[in-house]
Amino acid sequence: MTTLTEPRPSLSSFWHDLPRDGKLLLSVVVFEFLGTGLVLPFHVVYLHEVRGFALSDVGLLLGLPPLVGFLVVGPGGAAIDRLGARRILLASLGLLIAGDVLLAFSSTLLLAGTALVMSGVAFGVSWPASQSFIAAVVPTHLRQRYFGVNFTLLNLGIGIGGLVGGVVVDVDHLATFQAIYLADALSYLPPVFLLLVPLAGVAGRPVHDHDEHPAATYLGVLRRPAVASLMLLGFLASFVGYSQLNVGMPAYARAVGEVSTRALGLAFAANTAVIVVLQLVVLRRIEGLRRTRVIGVMGLIWAASWMLLGGSGLVSGTVGATILVAACASVFALGETLMQPTIPALVNDLAPDHLRGRYNALSSAAFQLAAIIAPPVSGVLIGHHLGSVWIGSLVVGSVLVGVYAVARLEPQLTPEVNGVRVPAPAR
């Protein structure tokens, strides 16, 4: 016989149980992403209105980082397994700093393109490196909560940065834009310090037993149990989720819902606020539940959010449309609070230590590939007055994501990897 299900651990117990190195990593998240929030909403404004580059050129420039990131993520994952996540993280932070500084003084397309390529390389390897580094620091039973808390702090930093950036920048004063890009560069210095000093001994060069762990290829990794299914799930979730929220949702809201740019800003602010307010509550609620079931609920929530957006097209140009767009972003955020702790935890609990870089690289590539494919799809459908088809495909796709997680992925996972806490045996 076993005991009854143990009570869900509190967030205070999470902080108490979290190793010192994990606490140090969380301590710099808000500051690091405050810099990201400073510049994130203003790339187009800076390059087009301040630097004077043609809008078509700006579109090509801003397409460079995700494309380059996708191209380098594979070699980056192999480098993480070979050299260690800490070294790759330091290199990516150095590139981000250099890219921001160069972009601040980019008066030509060549300089701006070079800066954005540097940022693309950095972002392509920083996600799998950071996830691998976290997994080296944080024990398995704390990872889901860690990823959730990290996501909360990340959004808090971006939200604060966006508000500050909106107050500081002035299209008539180049120096204000240079200031925010330089501030973004400075925001990466605290994590650099952590990696160089207090965390210098963590996740250095991995020790490989080549007899026990022969050299692995990405194809070999994909053939491992549940890996291909998990990566396909990540691609689908990104395609009907983030990739559409960042590009398709604003396009639909403007072209079909006819809402103002200010209303769009409020919608994204509401999205951030919901994440910051609810993520910690959601973490406690989902602790010990099957992660695939949590993702199934996420799919239903995202389907509801897209239906709300579709409703804005029925009352276009009205206050009701503005409210529905904000509601879409807010409900979508609730789904985010379910996804962000679960998928990274699944990836890292499934991965063996010697292949952690490749597992996280594959996960990152799945999300990035969706980010490359989704914008043209949404652009074509919305641009050809097929917005209802686009909404319908997202609603159906979101439901299918949930069904796929439960029906296909769940049977391939052990209960422990799927987040189920095994009750302690009765004495």
The pLDDT score that the predictor gives to residue 423 is: 61
Calculate the alpha carbon distances from 389 to 127, 243, 249, 393, 396 in Å. 33, 17, 14, 6, 11
Residue with tokens 């390897």: 125
Q: Which band of pLDDT confidence, cut at 50, 70 and 90, is reported for residue 159?
A: confident
Q: What is the pTM of this model?
A: 0.85
Instruction: Report which of 271, 389, 287 is spatially closest to residue 334, judged by C-alpha positions.
Output: 271
Same fold, 19-195 and 225-421: yes
Give the pLDDT confidence of 190-211 residue by residue, as tens digits: 999 999 999 988 865 555 544 4
Note the Cα 158 to chain centre separation in Å: 12
Q: For residue 114, report the phi and psi dihedrals to the nearest 5 degrees.
A: -65, -45
Q: What is the DSSP string of 241-292?
A: THHIIIIIHHHHHHHTS---HHHHHHHHHHHHHHHHHHHHHHHHHHTTS-HH
- Contact at 8 Å (CB) between 33 and 87? no
Residue ranges of domains in the chain: 19-195, 225-421
Run of H or E residues at 140: helix 140-168
Identify which of 32, 207, 202 has the alpha carbon closest to the alpha carbon of residue 133: 202
The yes-or-no verdict on residue 157 having pLDDT over 70 is yes
Using alpha carbons only, what angle is made at residue 201 by residues 90 and 119, rounded to the nearest 5 degrees? Answer: 10
Q: At the topology level of CATH, where does 19-195 sit? A: Growth Hormone; Chain: A; (1.20.1250)
Q: Please, are residues 254 and 383 in contact by the beta-carbon 8 Å criterion?
A: no
Does the pLDDT value for residue 6 go beyond 90? no
Label residue 57 by pLDDT band (50, 70, 90): confident
pLDDT above 90 (res 307):
yes
Angle between helices 20-27 and 109-137 (to 10 degrees): 150
The residue behind tokens 């998990």 is 230
Q: What is the pLDDT of residue 102?
A: 97
CA–CA–CA angle 193, 204, 226 (5° rounding): 115
Percent of the chain with pLDDT over 70: 93
Rounded Cα distance between 38 and 35, Å, is 5
User: Please, how many CA atoms are within 13 Å of residue 379, restricted to the half-sphere of its CB?
Assistant: 9
Domain 225-421: state its class: mainly alpha
Strand partners, 2: 425
